[in-house]
Amino acid sequence: MPHTLATVPFGEPVVIERIAGERGFRRRLFELGFLPGSTVRVLAVAPMGDPLDVELGGCRFSLRRAEADSIAVTGLAALAAK
């Protein structure tokens, strides 16, 4: 089962594989720097479980859990094993 950004443990750096969703949504994330091959970390989650506090390239973003669930990721350990 592929991992998504919504399911990774806090603080674990992961690499973006692909982004699913509508074209406008994907374009906006691309404009913000959420590109395949970029490293991202989930830093925290709001008390009610939504949104997620995400770090990418030294910047922090808030993403809804549903948005983070459309970002497929791979752990850095899995990439090193390839």
Return the higher-pLDDT residue of 41 and 76.
Answer: 41
Residue 65 lies in domain = 3-81
How does residue 16 score in pLDDT terms, banded at 50, 70 and 90? very high
Average pLDDT, stretch 32-51? Answer: 91
What separation in angstroms does the CA of 72 have from each of 17, 47, 48, 57, 68?
5, 24, 23, 18, 8
Task: Note the pLDDT of residue 75.
Answer: 83
Percent pLDDT > 70 in the chain is 89
pTM for the predicted model, two decimal places:
0.83
- Which spans in the chain are helix H? 23-32, 65-68, 76-81
And the tokens for 60?
A: 């922090």
Domain CATH for 76: 2.30.30.90
Number of domains the chain is built from:
1
What mean pLDDT is reported for the chain? 88
